[in-house]
Amino acid sequence: MPERFASDAYNPETTKLMGEAFEKAWADFQPRPKNESLARSLMATAIIEAVAAGVVGRDALTRAATVGLMSAIKADPDALNPDR
């Protein structure tokens, strides 16, 4: 689970939900981007933003993470796009 989630900003249930959504999104994302560190950070940020917007539920947060990373890959394919 990203360290970003481990703070006093979220209650334990929300932190657990965010971590589960992140792990599911990352496990399911294929092929992996070249810059995994940046990709993971972008997914975590997308989850944080979704929670801040009131999104609840592991599936919705997982989708937010996946869509966030896919959007970033489209915006900067040289930094993130999977090797072909």
Q: For the chain, state the CA radius of gyration.
A: 12
Q: What is the pLDDT of residues 24-57, one digit of tens each?
A: 999 999 988 888 999 999 999 999 999 999 998 9
Q: What is the pLDDT of residues 55-80, one digit of tens each?
A: 989 999 999 999 999 999 888 888 77
Distance CA 84, CA 43 (A): 22
Nearest to 34 by CA among 71, 77, 75, 67: 77
**What are the residue ranges spanned by the domains of the chain?**
10-80
Distance CA 68, CA 77 (A): 14
